[in-house]
Amino acid sequence: MKIRQALSSDCAKLYALENELFSMENFPLSRRSFYYHINHNLLYVAVTDDGDIAGYVLALVRRRDPKLYSLGVAKTYRGGGVAGMLMKRVFKELTSRGFKRTLLEVRCDNTRAIALYRTFGFSLIKELNAFYRDGCDAYLMEATHA
């Protein structure tokens, strides 16, 4: 498994993965959004030896405090440490750019993601009522960088 910056040529695969993972209630990214983020933000992909995209992480950096906007791992690659590798890579880059903290929103019912984020130092700031289209609440979380 190799972690690298996403390329424009990855957009079709990223869009397919996005539609596999996220329903409309979770604000999935469009193909056009992936093109934009490749050029304006931090978008890393985990690529298998066969060239499949096992997962990705997107951090928005055109702001005072970066925001971990999306993290997705293909169902067949879950439990293999892909999300952790992606998180380590994006945190390393954010730290090297001088950012002191990172924010994110996560569904309150996504216990697996919340547990992962806590291992990377994220803590709860506040609850966002009816944040998602289906009415689910979200947690606003933050982590500080050393």
pLDDT, tens digit, 9 for 90 and up, residues 22-78 = 766 666 788 899 999 999 999 999 999 999 999 999 999 987 899 999 999 999 999
Least confident of 80-84, 87-91, 129-133, 138-142: 129-133
**According to the model, what pLDDT value does residue 30 have?**
87
CA atoms within 13 A on the CB side of 128: 13
Query: What's the pTM value of the predicted model, to 2 decimals?
Result: 0.92
Percent of the chain with pLDDT over 90: 82
Q: List all residues 6 or more positions away from 72 whose beta carbon is below 8 Å from its beta carbon.
A: 17, 18, 21, 22, 55, 56
CA angle 36, 42, 47 (to 5 degrees): 95
Q: What is the mean pLDDT of residues 84-88?
A: 96
pLDDT at 64: 87
Q: What is the pLDDT, as a whole number, of residue 92? A: 95
pLDDT of residue 27: 65
Which CATH architecture describes the domain 2-144? 3-Layer(aba) Sandwich (3.40)
Structure confidence at residue 146 as a pLDDT band (50, 70, 90): low
Residue 26: predicted pLDDT: 61
